[in-house]
Structure 1
Amino acid sequence: MNARLNAPAAAVRGTRKRIRENSLLAQTAIHLFFIAACAACLIPLILVTIVSFTDERSILANGYSFLPEAFSLDAYRYLLADSGRLLHAYGISILVTVAGTLASLLISSLLAYPLSRRDFAQRHLLAFFVFFTILFNGGLVPWYLVYTNLFHLKDTLLALLVPNLLMNGFYILIMRTFFSNSIPGSLIESAQIDGAGEWRTFFRIVFPLSLPVLATIGLFTTLGYWNDWFNSLVFIYDNRLISLQYLMTKTLLSIQFLQSNTQNSNVGKLLSEMPTETVRMAMAIVGIGPIVLAYPFFQKYLVKGLTVGAVKG
C-alpha cells in the first residue's frame, strides 16, 4: 500500500525536477543570447573608439585592431583645429534637438489625444489623414518648393525643426493607442464631472500618466533630430546655422575630395599628414556622445512605452 502511495509522489517530484532543469536551461540560453546581442552592439563601438585613438600610419600598415601599436590624438586635434566652429555646430544641434523634441511631443500628443476619444465624432477621418501621410508623400521637389517658396524657411532654424521631423504619423498612432488603452475613460469622466475642461484634463491628468509613451517617442524624435544632416544640406546656406552632423559630413566629403586628387604634389603631401581613417572614427565618437549620455534617462520607459502603446489599434 505504501509503495502505491509513494509512486505518484515520486513521479510528481521527478516532473518538478525536469521542469526546474528545463527552466534553468531556458534561462541560460536566454542569458547567452542577450550576452551575444550586447557584445554585437558593444564590440563595434569599442573598436571605433580604439581606432580613433590609433596612429594613422599604424592603421594603414596593419588595419583596425583592438590592440593598437601606437597611440595618437591626431584625429581629435584635426577635428578641434577649428574648435569654435565645432562648438557652434554643437550648440545648433543641441538647440534644435531639445526644441524640436519638446515641440514634436506637444503637437503630436495634442493630435493623438482627440483621436483616442470615443466621443470625438471626426476621429476616424483625422486618423485616416494621419495614416495617409505614412503611405504617401508629395515628392522631393514639391516638398522643397513648399518649404522655401511658401513658408520661406530657407536659412532659418525652422528649416532644421519642421521638415520631416516635427510630426510623424506613426508616432501619433502609437500615442493614440496608448491613450486609448492606458487612460481609463472613467478617469476623464470624473474630471469632467468635477468641472475640469479639456485643456486641464489633458495637462493635469492625461499628460502625467503618459510618461512611458512620451519618453519612448521622445527618444526616437531626439535621435531623428540629432542625426539629421539632410535638412542642413537642402535648406541651409549660412554656415552659422549648420548642424553638427552636417559639419561632420562636410568634413568627410572634404577628405574624400582630397583623396581623389592625390596627383597634385601639394595635396599629396597634405593628405599624407592628415589622419583620414582615424578622423572618421573620431567623428563618430564626437557625434554620438550626447545621445549615449541621454539614453539611460529614457531606458526605463522604453520597453513599457512600446509594449503598452502597441497592444491593439
Structure 2
Amino acid sequence: MTTKKRTNPVIIAVLSFFSLACLIPFWLVMMVSFSDENEVLRSGYAFWPRKFSLVAYQYLLQDSEKIVRAYGVSIFVTIVGVFISLFVTSAMAYTMSRQDFPLKGSLSIYILVTMLFSGGLLPWYLVYTRLLHVQDTLLALIIPGLIGGFNVIIMRTFFTTSIPPSLIDSAQMDGAGEFRTYFSIILPLSLPVMATIGLFTTVSYWNDWFTSLVFIQNEKLYSLQYLLNKTLMNASFLQSIASKSYSSTAQVTQPLESIRMAMAMVAIAPLVLVFPFLQKYFVKGLTVGAVKG
C-alpha cells in the first residue's frame, strides 16, 4: 500500500507569496477606482478607500452606449482574430516543420527577417489603406495582428520536437492526405501550443488601441481600449482647461487618477471573468496534447 506524498510546505508558501503578489496590484487598482479623487491626491493610494466615491464610474457611464458598442467590437475582433490567427500560424509552422518541404529554409529566413527588421510605420499604413483599402472596417483591426514571426517559430519548434515524423508517415500510408493529416492528427496533438499562442494572441488583440488610432475614424468601430484612452485624453484636456480657469485651490473637476483605475477595471473585467473558464481547457491541453511513447 502506497502512501500519498505530501506537498512540500516551502513550495506552498512560495506559490502563495507569488499569488498574493499578483493579487495586491489588482486590489489596489480596484480600491483607487472607488476612491475620491481629492483624497487620492492628498494622501496617495491606499488599499482601502478613505472616502468612497463612484464618480469615476459615473463619468465613464456617461458614454455607456459607446462603451457597450466598443465592448462588442473588441469581443468580435478578438474572437475572430484569434481563430484565424491560430489557423494561419499553425498552418505555416506545420509547413515549415516538414522535412520534405523544399522551401523550408527560405521561408524560415523570411520569417526571421520580419522579426529583425520592419518596413516602418508609413509603408505599413500605405499597405492597408492604399493597397488593401481596409481603413474604417473591422478588417483593419483583425489583419495586422493575424501572424507574428515569434509565434510561428514557437509552433514550428513544437511540431518538430513533439510530433514524431513516423506518425505523419503512418497516416499517409493509410491514405490520409495533407489536409486530413493536418486537421485530424496535427491539430489535436497541438493543443498545448495552440492554447499558449491563443492566450498570447487574445491578450494582444484585446489590449490593442494603436490600430484603431491609425485606421479607424468611425466612432461605431472604436475598440474598447481606444475608446477608454480617448475618454482619458478628453478628461485630461478638461482638467487642464479648468486648472487655467480657476485658482490652484479650486476643487478637482475631473477625477483623473480614479478614472485611470476605473478604465483599467472596465478593460480587464472580461479577461478576469473568462480566464477561469478557459483555464481548465488550457491545463487539459497540456495533458491531452502529450504524445505517449
- Scaled by the length of structure 1, the TM-score of the pair is 0.83
Any residues of structure 2 matched to 1:33-182 within 5 Å, and which? Answer: 33-163=14-144, 165-182=145-162
Match of 1:213 in 2: 193
Match of 1:18 in 2: none
Deviations along 1:64-114, one digit per CA (max 9) or x if unpaired, are 111222222221111111211100000000000000000000011110101
Are the counterparts in 1 of residues 115 and 150 from structure 2 also a CA contact under 8 Å? yes
Q: How far does residue 273 in structure 1 lie from its aligned partner after superposition?
A: 4.1
Deviations along 1:115-141, one digit per CA (max 9) or x if unpaired, are 111111211111111111101110111
- Range moving further from structure 2, 217-226 or 49-58: 49-58
- Which secondary structure state, in structure 2, belongs to the residue aligned with residue 219 of structure 1? helix
Match of 1:230 among 192, 204, 210: 210
Larger Rg: 1
- Of all paired residues, the percent bearing the same amino acid is 54
Q: How has the CA–CA distance of structure 1 residues 255 and 169 changed in structure 2, closer, same or farther, with 3 Å as cutoff?
A: same
Q: How has the CA–CA distance of structure 1 residues 48 and 35 changed in structure 2, closer, same or farther, with 3 Å as cutoff?
A: same
Match of 2:275 in 1: 295
Match of 1:258 in 2: 238
Is 1:280 the counterpart of 2:280? The answer is no
Are the counterparts in 2 of residues 255 and 276 from structure 1 also a CA contact under 8 Å? yes
Structure richer in helix, relative to its length: 1
- Range moving further from structure 2, 151-160 or 294-303: 294-303
**Structure 2 alignment gaps of length 5 or more:** 1-6
Match of 1:12 in 2: none
Are the counterparts in 2 of residues 75 and 278 from structure 1 also a CA contact under 8 Å? yes
**Structure 1 alignment gaps of length 5 or more:** 1-23
RMSD of Structure 2 on Structure 1 (CA)? 2.4
Q: Tell me which amino acid in the other structure corresponds to 1:223.
A: V
Q: Tell me which amino acid in the other structure corresponds to 2:215.
A: F
Quick one: distance in 2 between partners of 1:206 and 1:29?
A: 39
Are the counterparts in 2 of residues 104 and 166 from structure 1 also a CA contact under 8 Å? yes
Quick one: distance in 2 between partners of 1:108 and 1:51?
A: 40
- Range moving further from structure 2, 100-109 or 64-73: 64-73
Quick one: distance in 1 between partners of 2:284 and 2:113?
A: 27
Deviations along 1:227-282, one digit per CA (max 9) or x if unpaired, are 000000011111111100000110111121122222225xx98x734322211111
Match of 2:169 in 1: 189
Q: How far does residue 193 in structure 1 lie from its aligned partner after superposition?
A: 1.2
Aligned pair count reads 280
Q: How has the CA–CA distance of structure 1 residues 102 and 304 changed in structure 2, closer, same or farther, with 3 Å as cutoff?
A: closer
Q: How far does residue 298 in structure 1 lie from its aligned partner after superposition?
A: 4.7
